[in-house]
Amino acid sequence: MKLLFWNINRKPLASELKSLCDCYDVDILVLAENTMQDAEILPVLNEDTDRVFIAPFNPSAKISFYTRIHAFELVHDDSWGSIRKITHPIGVEILLVAVHIPSKLHSDEREQAAISTRIANVIDKREQEQGHTLTIVMGDFNMNPFETGLVSADGFHGVMDKRVALKQSRTVLGQEKKFFYNPMWSRLGDDSEGYPGTYYYNNGMINYFWNTFDQVLLRPSLLPYFSQNNLKVIDEINGISLISKGKISNNFSDHLPLLVKLEISQLIGDK
């Protein structure tokens, strides 16, 4: 199962999305800051293909979904994004959490951390209702992997080490707090695969230049079906670079797309 997330910055990028979905054989497309109507984007996505995308009910103004897996049920919708239950054709159920957390232009780090805590609590509740933790979170967090909302035990509790994540949880101040594994830690800096971030910003006294705002988090129960080789920050479409003069080109979005693949067939074999 292949999932693609892109904050498209209110740009009419239907043809670019079509190229990405065809190139990577995407099953689920998740968009933030999408102002295109379904009637505008679906005919483009479905041109010359037998694997048809549909647009499920999208009440959230934050997130748009387009999916080739039609068993796609709304579980929760909120001001920060949406949770969907995906029933793969081979019978596996997965919770997909798509988020778009406000940027620091509108919220400071404390507010982002508070929103992260709220989302984490909703995820925990929905996992209890569904009876499993096969959960993937992806989207524009507007935080780097090392910021409070991502690492706090009350927030996403996202760790960089699979060995730690596979312990499932830890007890903090008398409460059990489940882990997420955050593979985006490995995409920071020059030695990462591809560009060292998903968003470029050059301003202020303290400046990282490249920020990894677009991320994917995985519950430990999904780790056997994921590898770093199946995670890609995309920097070109049909041979056209999304990068210009060392930063993200204004011809497209101000974010880079993020692709992740889960080996669902292996998961069903383990059940």
195-240 pLDDT tens trace? 899 999 998 898 999 999 999 999 999 999 999 999 999 999 999 9
3-state secondary structure of 183: helix
Calculate mean pLDDT across residues 74-103: 93
pLDDT in tens, 140-186: 999 999 999 999 999 999 999 999 999 999 999 999 999 999 999 99
pLDDT at residue 61 is higher than 80: no
Task: Identify the pLDDT of residue 194.
Answer: 83
Calculate mean pLDDT across residues 20-48: 97
Calculate mean pLDDT across residues 75-79: 94
- What's the pTM value of the predicted model, to 2 decimals? 0.95
**Angstrom distances, CA of residue 83 to CA of 90, 93, 213:** 21, 13, 19
107/25 Cα distance (integer angstroms): 36
Task: Identify the pLDDT of residue 57.
Answer: 86
Task: Identify the pLDDT of residue 88.
Answer: 83
Structure tokens belonging to residue 4: 């693609």
Q: What is the residue whose two structure tokens read 């997420």?
A: 180
Four-residue CA torsion sign, 235, 239, 240, 246: positive
pLDDT at residue 98 is higher than 60: yes
Residue 5 DSSP label: E
Residue partners of 265: CB distance under 8 A and separation at least 6: 90
CATH number of 2-270: 3.60.10.10
Beta strands in 111-257 (DSSP E): 135-140, 158-159, 169-172, 175-178, 180-181, 199-201, 209-211, 214-218, 231-233, 236-237, 240-241, 243-244, 247-248
Backbone angles phi, psi at 45, to 5 degrees: -60, -35
Q: Check if the beta carbon of residue 108 is closer than 8 Å to that of residue 148.
A: no
Q: Check if the beta carbon of residue 127 is closer than 8 Å to that of residue 95.
A: yes
pLDDT at residue 271 is higher than 60: no
Task: Identify the pLDDT of residue 267.
Answer: 66
pLDDT at residue 91 is higher than 90: no
**Angstrom distances, CA of residue 68 to CA of 26, 190, 241:** 8, 35, 27
Residue 226 DSSP label: -
Task: Identify the pLDDT of residue 203.
Answer: 86
User: For residue 7, what are the β-bridge partners?
Assistant: 32
Task: Identify the pLDDT of residue 269.
Answer: 55
60 or 239, greater pLDDT: 239
Task: Identify the pLDDT of residue 192.
Answer: 85
Q: What is the residue whose two structure tokens read 């101000």?
A: 254
CA dihedral of 24, 29, 34, 40, whole degrees rounded to 10: 80
pLDDT at residue 137 is higher than 80: yes
- The percent of residues above 70 in pLDDT, for the chain, comes to 98
236/242 Cα distance (integer angstroms): 5
58 or 7, greater pLDDT: 7
Among 231, 238, 236, CA closest to 256: 236
